[in-house]
Amino acid sequence: MTSSCRFCSAPLEHVFADLGVSPFANSYVPPERLTAAEPFLPLSALVCARCFLVQLQEHGGTPEEIFSDYAYFSSYSTTWLEHAKEYAAAMTERFSLGGGSKVVEVASNDGYLLQYFVEAGIDVLGIEPAANVAAVAEENGVATVVRFFGRDAATDLRDAHAADLLVGNNVLAHVPDLNDFVAGLALLLKPTGVITMEFPHLLRLVNDVQYDTIYHEHFSYFSFSAARRVFAAHGLTLFDVEEIPTHGGSLRIYGRHEADETKPVGDRVGELLEREEEAGYGRLETYLAFSEQVKRQKRAVLSFLIEAKEEGRTIAGYGAPAKGNTLLNYCGIGTDFIDYTVDRNPHKQGHYLPGTRIPILDPCEVERTRPDYLFILPWNLKDEVMEQMSVIRDWGGRFVVSSPNLRVYP
């Protein structure tokens, strides 16, 4: 295991959140492996006392093991598709993209985003390490290269695919070699091009006790100030930032080459840096206080489940997201509390959640079994889920959401 910061190489000595041991959060168990052993690895997030990057130590799982055959398909969330469509329209207008432009997305998944640029007649390229997911994008007309991104990939691709707009949504956290990745972004970006990256905001993670967004596939957790340091180290200036509601509260950062003076740094950059400083994100004690909040939320979830089961209530889950697997494994919740979970993604149905071995079924199972409670594991999509599954109200069923505080909805 490494004991130094993946950005600045300072020693890592301070614990942000210790979540015990857990399997890989996206390694769903097929029926034929139900009795086989799973690897359980330490899940402890540390904070660098020099640059304040929150991060996992290297844990032995390679990117190839984690991401080469992936079970997450972005297009199964209608909310996420709407977000992608709105983003494409906004960027096309703001940066005057057209037929002569090139949009490149790193970790492009199943083409959920680039499809909207294709519809607008804009040339695109997706870069996606998971071959099974990339194949879906290709079938939908989104040109996709199957490989991991970094300096080497950028060097190979930049002559033919230098980007006017270089996109990365929810990929920055997944990168083990952070410096190699950001250096690759700088290489692939045209001299006057724009990078946008979206990632969960550490400030929201802490404020809303979103500890379940910590899992082995997420190597780093960013404040805006930490992200700004990383990009600046590779000659990239963050000239704008937006706070957006996705994934429980995310940032969309806008980057350019340091030498590109056509895009001045906007007011929102200084305002957010000042707000983070006032909230204590430049002081170590702010990070060290998080562990107790995590323990307190764990006790609240378990207290609710124990009381519900003692009353004879039935509980099902909704969703099979990575964040749900962190919560279930950290809290020790299995089929003794949650009978099953359901997911719209057919690639997950018929499998079992890693660690807890809770079965993943089709959503129609909810109406068949009529549980008293539906525990929404992807709490960031609670409004979408509550609308889709409103049928549970027909028999008096209620929804349960764990973040920021456990809450029961009628």
**pLDDT exceeds 90 at position 225:** yes
Q: What is the mean pLDDT of residues 226-247?
A: 97
Q: What's 74-264's CATH class? A: alpha beta
Q: What is the mean pLDDT of residues 304-317?
A: 98
For the stretch 130-169, pLDDT in tens is 999 999 999 999 999 999 999 999 999 999 999 999 999 9
What is the full DSSP assignment across 51-90?
A: T--EEEPP-S--HHHHHSS----GGG-HHHHHHHHHHHHH
Residue 30 is classified by DSSP as P
d(CA 156, CA 168): 19
**pLDDT exceeds 60 at position 66:** no
pLDDT of residue 403: 85
Tokens coding 181: 């990745």
What residues does 195 pair with on adjacent strands? 166, 255
pLDDT of residue 303: 98
pLDDT of residue 282: 97
Distances (CA, A) of 286 to 33, 130, 152, 174: 42, 37, 37, 24
Residue ranges of the domains in the chain?
74-264, 290-409
**pLDDT exceeds 70 at position 71:** no
pLDDT of residue 77: 73
pLDDT of residue 3: 84
CATH second-level architecture of 290-409? 3-Layer(aba) Sandwich (3.40)
pLDDT of residue 58: 73
pLDDT of residue 1: 46
For the stretch 334-368, pLDDT in tens is 999 999 999 999 989 999 999 999 999 999 999 99
pLDDT of residue 68: 45
User: What pTM value is reported for the model?
Assistant: 0.90
Q: What is the mean pLDDT of residues 67-95?
A: 79
For the stretch 23-63, pLDDT in tens is 999 899 999 999 999 999 999 999 999 999 999 987 655 55
In a 3-state reduction of DSSP, which class is residue 189? strand
The residue with greater pLDDT, 65 or 119, is 119
Domains 74-264 and 290-409 share a fold: yes
Look-up of token digits 């969703």: 319
What residues does 193 pair with on adjacent strands? none
For the stretch 191-206, pLDDT in tens is 999 999 999 999 999 9
pLDDT of residue 50: 97
- Confidence band for 76, pLDDT divided at 50, 70 and 90: low
For the chain, the farthest-separated pair of C-alpha atoms sits apart, in whole angstroms, at 65
Q: What is the mean pLDDT of residues 73-85?
A: 79
Task: Please provide residue 324's backbone torsions phi and psi, each rounded to the nearest 5 degrees.
Answer: -65, -35
pLDDT of residue 330: 98
pLDDT of residue 75: 56
pLDDT of residue 61: 55
Q: Which range (69-73, 287-291, 363-367) has the least confidence?
A: 69-73
